[in-house]
Every structure is written in C-alpha cells, then in structure tokens.
Structure 1
Amino acid sequence: MRELAVREIRRISAGFGHSVGPLLEVGQDGQVLVFVSVPDGSEFQFWDVRTGELAWRDGEGVSGCNDTALVRLPDGGLSLAAATEDGVEWWDAFTGRHRPERAWEETTVWALSAGQLGGRPVLLGAGNDGSVYGWDGNSGAALEPPRFEAGAGSSAMAVAYVPLPSEEGVIVAGDDAGRLWRWDPVTGDLLGEPTAGPASKVRIIKALPPAVGTSLFVSSDQEGILQRWDTETGAPVGPAMETGTYVFALATAGVDGTDLLLAAGADEVVRAWDAGTGEPIGLAVQGVAVSIPARGSGATLLATSTARGEIVVYECGIRSA
C-alpha cells in the first residue's frame, strides 16, 4: 500500500478547548495562510503559518458557522465567506475587515463552494429551503437566476461547483433525502433526474481533481460513507468507501502525481484514498477536520484540526510502503 508521508511544520493553538474549522490556502507570494472558524460563529481567525503569528481575529460573532469558503478574486484579493443560520457573511480575508454590506439573510445556509462562471468568481450556497443560491464573488450580489431548486419539501445540505474538461462546469447539490441534483450553471436547467444517492442525508460534496477526459465528485452521507460520481452522467463510480464515522470534512489535492482524497471526522482519524481508483493510502495523522490548499507551488501542505482547538500543518508526499 502507498503511504502519505507527513512532516509537521507548524502547530497553532486557536485558544479554544474544542474543535475548530481550518481552511488552508497559499497566497500569491507563497505565504501559507490558515483561516480558523469556530462552529458557534463566535470568532474567525487568520494565521500566518510561516511565522506562527495571528494576523487578525474577528470576535464580534455571527449566528453560527455551518461552513466557510475562500473566494479568490481577479485582482489578487481573497474573500472569506461563512454560511450561517441566517445566510452568508463576508470578510476581506487578508485584512479581516468584515463586509456587512454584503451580508445576505434569507435562509439558513448549510454549505458553501467557490467556483468560476463565465470567467468571474462565484460563491454557491446550499439553502435550508431546498434552493442553491449564487453570489458574485467580486460584489457579493445575488446571481440571476437567483437559485437552483432542489425539490419541494427538501433541504439542500451540500453543494459544489465541479469543473468539466471541455465546458463551464456543473453545479451539484445533495439534499436531506439522500438525492443528488445537477444543474447547468449558465441556463439553470436541471441535468437529468435527481440521482438516488446515499441512504441518508448528503452532508458533503467535493469536486475531485480532474483526470484526463473525466470529471468526478465525491459525496459523504450521514453514516460517513463516501461515493464517487461521474459529473456528466450522475452515475456512481466504483464501490463506496466506508469510514465508519461521522465525517466533518473532505479535502482533495494532487500530491506527487496522485490525486488524493482525504476525510476526517468524529473518531479523529484522517483517512486517505487515491481519488481516481478508490485505493486506500496509508496515513498516520489524527484530526477532526482536514484542509489542503487548492493551489500552490513546492511541497504540498496539509492542515488538520484537533478536538482541542489546535491546528497542525504538515508537509506531505506519497511514498511506496
């Protein structure tokens, strides 16, 4: 079995005695950044991994934090968005300046995903009312059409923008009935019938690194069962991958030529697979959440969050056992 070899390079204490959510990103100058969110929405933090220093902290609080996403802007800026019980809140990620003029408060949003539509950055949100909403990443304005409907009486629990090899991409959402929905992001048209996915709520959807000529995404349900799917057809790909625990976070990245999928959850074990084949990859790392930057140069970095409010950042690479 191949293994993901890791070397700890930084350990950060967020100042809380419970788990927090990390988002790891690499700045344009190679600066490694960690954004930390507290699940109750009481605080957001930004740390410089290189120095181990806290760059900013916002302790004003919002109405819970169900998910966070980073939206990279064409001018080199970076926005941090949080899904809350009331909607979505925004910050300038580099300065920590809260952007209350961008706040959107129509319904509870459970999950967020950043993408590119028509060459512009967008943010997508899975709404408790069964809709998937979109916002312009530059202005925060709601997109037209404003929403993608996931069916009467359902709640959209997870969302992802999944790129296609030759087209714009597909918006994928999962609901509390275990169904997967796919839409054309330009027309808003539903692509086929909703797929009967997991046997329980779809909690997370993540785009997998693009293989040659294919596009896949992965879902995680209430029981921690992961399944890969073909983005264009909605058909399952390969057998399900069982974690045996409630999964809090998924992360994907290319590491030393291997497209990697990682999961972390309630049992504080971080698990890894080859995203293309579903083959398990050995990994001796603990954590309740996991994050890998979507881009960067040099060594691949991995961040985990412990149950004691610590963020641990590793350099990692693939080796044969």
Structure 2
Amino acid sequence: MIRVVEVASLRTGCLHAVHPLVAADPKAGVILLSTWGIGPEIRRWDIGSGDSLWDSVEELPGCNDSVLASLTPGRCILAVSTEDGVERWNALTGEPMSGVYSAESTVWRLAAGSLPNGQAMLVGAGHGGAVHRWDADSGEPLGPPLLGHATTVLSVGFGYVSESEAVIMSGDDSGFLRRWDAKTGNPLGDSVAGHASQVNVIAAVPLNRVRNAFASSDADGEICRWDAATGEQIGAPLATGMEVYTLATVCPGGTPLLLAAGSNGVVGMWNAITCEPMGIPLRGISAAAIDQPDGTSLVVTGTSQGEMIVYSLSV
C-alpha cells in the first residue's frame, strides 16, 4: 500500500499554470525549479523553507518544455525548448550558460538522460520531423538530426534496455512512434502506428534497475505502454479521461508507479506494471517526481493557480 503525505505547499506568486521540475543531486540535495509564462519566468526554490533561491525573467520566444539534466554531482543544467531551439542555465545558480542549442526551428519537447559512458544528453522533438541530440554539457549536436517521421515530432523519451544500451522513443502528430539507438542515432525497427491522434507526451517507465519501458499519451488522453527493446505494445491502453500534459514515474519502496497530470486538475496514479489504479489522486495539472536514497519518493505537482505541492510517497 502506498502512503502519501503532503509535506509542503509553495506559493510561486504566479496566478496561472506552473510547471515543476525536480532532480536529486548528491551534493546539492533536492533541486526544485518552476517555469511558467510565455517569457518564461524561471525560479529555483528551497523545498524546505519555500524561499526563492534565484529567478530569471529573460525574454524567450515561448516555453514549450523544460528539463533538468544532471552532469556530475553538483552540476545540473536547466534546458528550455522554444520556437528558436533550446536555451540553458546552471540550475543551481541561475547563471545563463553560453550558447544556444539551435535546431533552427521550433523544439516542442525535451528529454534528458545519460549514455552508458556517462555522457549527458538532451533530446529534442523537432518541428520539421526531426529528432535532435545534443551534448548536455557543451551544447554541441551529437550527429545530424534523426529523420524518419513524415510529420512534426511532438514528443520524445529517453530510456534504457540494458546497462550498455540507451534508447530514444519519438512520437509525431500523426500518432506514429519510432525508436532510435541513443548513442549511434540508428533507427531500431520500423515506425509504429501507436495512437489514433498526435503523440503529446512520452516518458520512460522503470521495469527494473536497468530496464525501461515507454509510456505515451495522445490528444485523447489514452496512455499506451511499449517495450523499449522490441517496440511491442505492453497490455491494453489506459484511458485517463483527460488531456495529459505530463507523465512521471517513481518507485517508492521498489513499487513502480506511473503518474499522469492534465486538464482535469487531478494527477492520476497507477501501478506501472499492472496499470492497476492506486486510488490516490493528487492535485495538479503537471507533475515531476524523484526517488530518494531512503526508499521514499517525492512528487511535486503544479496547479493552474500557480501553487506547487510537494508530496512524500512511501510504502
């Protein structure tokens, strides 16, 4: 049984939707950021006191998505995708980092992960049907864009099939999904007609310590799960009854959970393996989550009124 405790509520000062980002760093502890607005406005928060540690109001051409990418202990970057590519900041200090990840077009969604050799990577869903890969530290492209979608790529995910192989999954606005070798960029198998409408969100789902599946959600809020190694669908689709804005996963006490947040203001929670509903709705339209060394998990949700709520999950 999963035990959920609300441990903090942070008023961001924003009066509209806020998107939380959270990461665990061995030196810095829990890193919590929020993004909102067309600008966007970005802030880092002290999760204990609720104080703002830094903020940036740099004008950007929109904020389509944002991710945190861990480089080494004590080094973490924030990447924000815009209509002109991707920009980045030092997530700990708020200092803008030199250079722009330029895809020369709109980047809709981002994913972050580390290759088996430890190199941190950013992956972008490109407007021109391309999937982009960048070195998260230097901002340099990792090879040419990956081409294989006939229409605009709207979502990307980064996961693992073993300790030595990382995989990218991408989804487009025609409902098709593709898999790629994250290191070489080579396509893995053929494209799959995974959804009846555009694929808005993709997230890696933990199956065990070294292997992931992928979860994808379309414009109707249907979630499908995919074997990262074979590309085959796992089980039946899951109907959420809402437009899903974010997917997140955590494993409190070793129990893999899938969270979906979206238009109805409730964060649904399911067992990631069986899709059994946990019956523990949380408040929010977006969610981010991390596992902690003591076996508990933190889930941070963002509401449409600018509030961030921190929950602790345990077994």
TM-score range, shorter-chain basis? over 0.9
Shift of 1:14: 1.4
Partner AA of 1:37 in structure 2: T
* Distance (whole Å) between structure 2 residues aligned to residue 212 and residue 138 of structure 1: 25
Identity of aligned residues (%): 39
> What residue ranges of structure 1 are gaps of 5+ in the alignment?
none
How many angstroms apart in 1 are the aligned matches of 2:219 and 2:32? 27
Which whole-Å deviations, capped at 9, do the CAs of 1:277-304 have from their partners, x for residues lacking one?
A: 1111111321101110255545311111
Number of residue equivalences: 314
What pairs with 1:1-321 in structure 2 (closer than 5 Å)? 2=1, 4-29=2-27, 31-74=29-72, 76-104=74-102, 106-117=104-115, 118-144=117-143, 146-152=144-150, 154-211=151-208, 215-293=212-290, 296-297=293-294, 299-318=296-315
Larger RCO: 1 or 2 (CA < 8 Å, sep 6+) = 1
Q: For residues 45-80 of structure 1, give each alpha carbon's deviation from its aligned partner in whole angstroms, at most 9, with x where no partner exists.
A: 100102211000001221111111111113530000
Alignment check: 8 A CA contact 1:25 1:294 kept: no
SS in 2 for 1:283: coil
- Compute the TM-score of the two structures, normalised by the length of structure 1: 0.93
Contact 2:160 2:210 in 1 (8 A): no
| Deviation digits for residues 104-148 of structure 1 (CA, Å, limit 9, x no counterpart) | 25110011111122321111111111111111112111112x211
Structure-2 separation of matches of 1:284 and 1:217: 22
Contact 1:20 1:37 (C-alpha < 8 Å) held by counterparts:
yes
Q: What is the distance in 2 between the residues matched to 1:278 and 1:92?
A: 37
d(CA) in 2 for partners of 1:93 and 1:51? 18
Gaps of 5+ in 2: none
Q: CA RMSD in A?
A: 1.7
